[in-house]
Amino acid sequence: MNETSPVTEFVPAERPVSLAISVRGLVKHFRDVKAVDGIDLDVPRGMIFAILGPNGAGKTTLIRMLATLIQPDAGSATVMGHDLGSSPQAVRASIALTGQFASLDEDLTGRENLVMLARLWGFRGKAARGRADELLGAFDLADAATKQVKSYSGGMRRRLDIAASLVVTPGVLFLDEPTTGLDPTARQGVWRMIRQLAQAGVTILLTTQYLEEADQLAARIAVIDHGKKIAEGTSRELKAAIGSGFLHVAPADQSRLDEAAAILEARLKNTVQRSAEGAQLSVVAGSAREANEALAALMSAGIELSDFSMGSPSLDEVFFALTGAPAEDQDRKEAAQ
Amino acid sequence: MSEISPALITNVQPPKPPSALSNALVFGWRAVLKFRHVPEQLFDLVMTPLMFTLLFTFVFGGALAGSPSDYLQFFLPGILVQTVVFNSVYSGMGLSTDLSKGLFERFRSLPIWSLAPFAGLMVGDVLRHVIAGSIILGIGLILGYRPEAGGAGVLASFLLLIAIGFGTGWIFIVLGLLIRTPMTVMTIGFTFIFPLVFASNIMVQPETMPGWLQAFVVNNPVSHMTTALRGLMAGTATAGEVGLALAAPVLLTILLSPVVLWLYRRN
């Protein structure tokens, strides 16, 4: 699949010190499921790097290995120059992890959660409380500092969870699906936070199921599926491979669907996908101009459209473009963990 | 909404790495905080033994020992053992809850002593045992229970209770690590604990039981614990009795602490 995808591969000969994360041939199997099946990855320091893939693609497993929570079956990796296998404690000292599920003590207050972590890092009494208050202020949680976390909203939890990862400035911050389950406003807030952290020099490795999120935040994106990396590049490079967007059309007369599909395919030189209900056709358009010409061709053939739209590709469409198959949602591996 | 100042998150370097003891104490502090925030957990801990004490003393006591006050004198040390053993189940449930919520993921990704969270769990357990034990003993005293060995006997008894709780705690930590649903931990825990607690000498001496059951009761570690605790409260305990009572907790600690470590580091 890599050969068919015109996305540039970034494969340095050795591991320069300037890399925050360097992964070679990492493998993790859960019984007979290959959750991560030989992944190479290089993340330069200070970069926001996104791992894009559907549920069960192996994103979480990869991050859990890099955060020393599970041991790889094969392969090697260094995080901030420390080897995962031989010096996990040094890796732990230079990373922070915000997992998919809030890793907070629900019974404790927000402040107590942060004080606890500050103490675990070695801050003593007053310094620990001071650091906790600083973070609460910075993350707009000062008002809720003395409330139990169980009373927090989803957005507040996520902010506290990220704050908890910043008690000590990490070299690498792992964010596993940082905005899953958040409303649009809270999502924007988390995005802003991530950008500011990157500006401050923190390397961020995040996973996401949303192309938009990767596009908005990340300087580089690796697309993974079935535990394998199927593409990597900048957002621009990926889009060049996938097409700038998808043209969706719905012919008014369903009997002319095949005819419409043939015209689109001829015009845009890409495979036409049919929606599950069959009423809508989707096809990659190289540019808005090409899309426009395709629509004009439909019109001149006398095919009336009940609806048409141009959209940025969804994850499904990215996968279709890269692999020729729709993204499979397979929760089993992540459920196994 | 939230704007964080980059100045805040730059250059915050970790202080000198704390000691393993310091790590463990933080988790102990967490256990104390949980007690403060969720005082209703005391209700879970104390209600069952309290009902047992009242029921057995006043309903069955006269029939079993001639008078309720005579029975209470016999029964109270046993109910303390039962309280502590039951409470260990809650400790396993708590661990299972923590694990199911991803809190331990963060702990495990921190550069801390890997057993510190369990040490904290133990601190919480000791606290629970002491508080629940004191309440039950207090109620016993009000109802007329008198420990003949006085304060020293009570102190020795509580030390033994803590050791018992510590030992049985390992079973439920293992269950908590293996099973991710707290309710299942409780169900399995009680299924396992019930025969041990009821087929013991906590409620009655085994003389009237059928032979095969007597054999079980006499060798039941819970019976040894109860015998030793009665002895300590009365000031008649022998070193042998206390040794037998401690055998199970010591054995459990030796056998299960490596299992806990292995399970914790496994995934």
Residue A64 CA to residue A203 CA, distance in Å, equals 16
Beta-strand pair A281-285/A245-251: antiparallel
Taking an 8 Å cut-off on Cβ atoms, the answer to whether B267 and A112 are in contact is no
Do the interacting molecules here have an ipTM over 0.90?
no
Taking an 8 Å cut-off on Cβ atoms, the answer to whether B8 and A135 are in contact is yes
Does the CB of B40 have a partner CB in chain A at under 8 Å? no
The CATH number linked to A204 is: 3.40.50.300
Taking an 8 Å cut-off on Cβ atoms, the answer to whether A124 and B111 are in contact is no
A117 with A147, same domain: the answer is: yes
- CB contacts under 8 A, B 237-256 vs A, are none
Q: Do A116 and B124 form a contact (C-beta atoms < 8 A)? A: no
Of B8, B106, B116, the CB nearest to A138: B8
The yes-or-no verdict on residue B92 having pLDDT over 90 is no
A249 with A236, same domain: the answer is: no
Structural domain of A171? 19-240
The answer as to whether A2 is a domain residue is no
Of A103, A138, A140, the CB nearest to B105: A103
The answer as to whether A253 is a domain residue is yes
Of A67, A139, A197, the CB nearest to B109: A67
A140 with A266, same domain: the answer is: no
- CB contacts under 8 A, A 162-191 vs B, are 164, 166-169, 185, 188-189
A226 with A248, same domain: the answer is: no
pLDDT for B175-217, tens place per residue? 988 888 888 888 888 888 889 999 999 998 888 899 999 999 9
Q: Tell me, what's the pLDDT at B113?
A: 86
- Of A240, A267, A284, the position where a domain reaches its end is A240
Of B14, B16, B37, the CB nearest to A108: B37
Q: Tell me, what's the pLDDT at A314?
A: 65
Q: How far is A318 from chain B (nearest CA, A)?
A: 31
The CATH number linked to A285 is: 3.30.70.120
- Rounded mean pLDDT of chain A? 84
A260 with A294, same domain: the answer is: yes
Residue A282's nearest CA partner among A322, A314, A253, A255 is A314
Q: What is the mean pLDDT of residues A84-103?
A: 88
Kindly list the residues from chain B whose CB atom is less than 8 angstroms away from the CB atom of residue A164.
106
pLDDT for A136-182, tens place per residue? 988 889 999 999 999 999 889 988 998 999 899 899 999 999 988 88
pLDDT for A248-291, tens place per residue? 888 888 888 889 999 988 888 888 888 777 788 888 887 778 88
The yes-or-no verdict on residue B40 having pLDDT over 60 is yes
pLDDT for B225-245, tens place per residue? 999 999 999 999 899 999 999
Residue A319 CA to residue A216 CA, distance in Å, equals 19
A138 with A269, same domain: the answer is: no
Q: What is the mean pLDDT of residues A63-92?
A: 91
Terminal CA-to-CA distance of chain A, rounded, Å? 28
The answer as to whether B1 is a domain residue is no
The yes-or-no verdict on residue A15 having pLDDT over 80 is no
A134 with A158, same domain: the answer is: yes
Q: Residue A237: which residues within 8 A CB-CB, separation 6 or more?
A: A7, A8
A277 with A143, same domain: the answer is: no
| Percent share of chain B, pLDDT over 90 | 47
- Domain tally for chain B? 1
- Domain tally for chain A? 2
A137 with A271, same domain: the answer is: no
Q: Tell me, what's the pLDDT at A42?
A: 94
A36 with A156, same domain: the answer is: yes
A232 with A251, same domain: the answer is: no
Does the CB of B13 have a partner CB in chain A at under 8 Å? yes
- Rounded mean pLDDT of chain B? 88
| Percent share of chain A, pLDDT over 70 | 87
Residue A335 CA to residue B5 CA, distance in Å, equals 37
The answer as to whether B197 is a domain residue is yes
| Stretch among A305-309, A314-318, B147-151 having the lowest mean pLDDT | A314-318
A9: confidence class by pLDDT, cuts 50, 70, 90: very low
Residue B198 CA to residue B63 CA, distance in Å, equals 18
Beta-strand pair A82-83/A74-79: antiparallel
A265 with A278, same domain: the answer is: yes
The answer as to whether A10 is a domain residue is no
Residue B31's nearest CA partner among B131, B100, B108 is B131
The answer as to whether A98 is a domain residue is yes
Structural domain of B187? 21-28+40-266
The yes-or-no verdict on residue A332 having pLDDT over 50 is no
